[in-house]
Structure 1
Amino acid sequence: MAEFFTFMSAPAAGCIILSIIFTYFGCHVLKREIVFVDLSMAQLAALGATIAFIMEIELDTPESFVISVLFVLVGGAFFTWTRSFSHRVPQEAVIGIVYIVAASAALLLSSFSVHGDEHLKTMLSGSILWTSWKDVIRQLAVSLIVAVLLVIYHKKIEEQSLSYRSLRTTGISSFWKWDFLFYVLLGMVIVFFIKTAGIFTIFTFLIIPATCAALFVDQLFKQFVVGSILAIAVSLIGLTLSFYLDLPTGATLVCSFGATFFIALILSKFRFSGQG
């Protein structure tokens, strides 16, 4: 047990931060029906990191973060702009196109490096087992800054999330800045988690806890609370399984959340069947 706490305390702390901040965004993403925006933003951040990698810039350096942030900002601006076309083209189609192009570009660029395959694997699955306390402190600091901004502007962000479908037909003249702010804040968090968590794990923390919570509660804040508690519990279980069974940490976390989703789906089916 002492060995577990020695090796897994920092990854566990990182997972707790992941659980809270990404569940919040996940609840809003579900309401906005832009489920794959996280994948696209994460892939854009990874593309920026890949460009830095090709330029022989270390992932943990300020230069690498700046490049990733620039790609996230451009992505956020692009998604905000293309929302004005959503009456003709679904936003999810645009998000999917950005994801596949960014992923292909990263794959293409990685082919120019001897260690490109290893870099791509890190971007996809992360290295959460090797999360250090330095990483945790940095992630906590960024998450707290983002959380403060979310608290300050929560009324506007929540109002937009709850009426996102109807607002699609009104254009972006009145709401574009809140749309852009939402994308930028989500992107900032992704940039600081992409190296340790990876694209797959980030998407898992964003979508599955929020989805499970939405199966049982309707109110947005309650979904956030239930989803956060669930995410923390499942991630700690996943870390424990990974440690004692000597399994890949990222994949174990994703599969643990996947199993939780199917259990929640079955329980919700029985619950509502009983009410009927």
Structure 2
Amino acid sequence: MDLSFEMMALLVAVAAVAGFIDAMAGGGGLITLPALLAAGVPPTQALATNKLQSSFGSFSASLYFIRSGAVKLQSMWLSIVCTFIGAALGAEAVQHIKPDILMSLIPIVLIAISSYFLFSSSVTPHPEDKPKLSEAAFAFIIGGGVGFYDGFLGPGTGSIFAVCFVAIGRYTLVAATARTKVLNFTSNIAALSFFILADLPIWELGLTMAIGGFIGARLGAKVVLGSGQKWIKPLVIIMSMTMALKLLWEQHQQWLLSLL
């Protein structure tokens, strides 16, 4: 695909901003996917190319969190395996199943996520709080389930993982964000593998955008560990509500316009 230098530079900048936000609260695809479509990339290739570039951003954030000691892979191996398998199954299923029904449920999930963060008096678990699921159950149910969703559709995956780690795993926001990026990278790679087999990604464009996404995600991860929770909570609420409203508008645009 032949894009001008100016358009490529703009898409790199967009990927950097998306990577920064995604590392903190998820929802980076809400920025990059519309930008790719606006640049004239066909929808299926836009989805695949977006997965390609976002994989570098989630890898960058994950690597920073791991090196900083915010998360240890040994403690997450079962969740990583279940997430990978779930995402692979989701990426395969989306090629055979119409996603309309699941797509209509996404805004409800996102609104529930933002409401949890908005109305909960505190999203910092008490030190004596115990996880609501065992480690194995969390891996199979949350890792596998959310991984399947990311491979199948994907919007809001980071936010869904984050709220599950906080509400069910009883992690702090910083710890939840670090673990979220590891599983987000896992599901990205699994889904991307299927897109590559179908020869869908635009490699030159995706790898160029990945530069911006990698840098933006690294900066976002630094902010998470530096400024911590004061930035994560409002960003999760904003990104979740924005994604929900965008999807509701796309699904019910004609009906909403008829009310005006």
TM-score (normalised: structure 2): 0.29
Higher alpha-carbon Rg: 1
TM-score (normalised: structure 1): 0.28
Higher share of residues assigned helix: 1
Higher-RCO chain (CA-CA 8 Å, sequence separation at least 6): 2
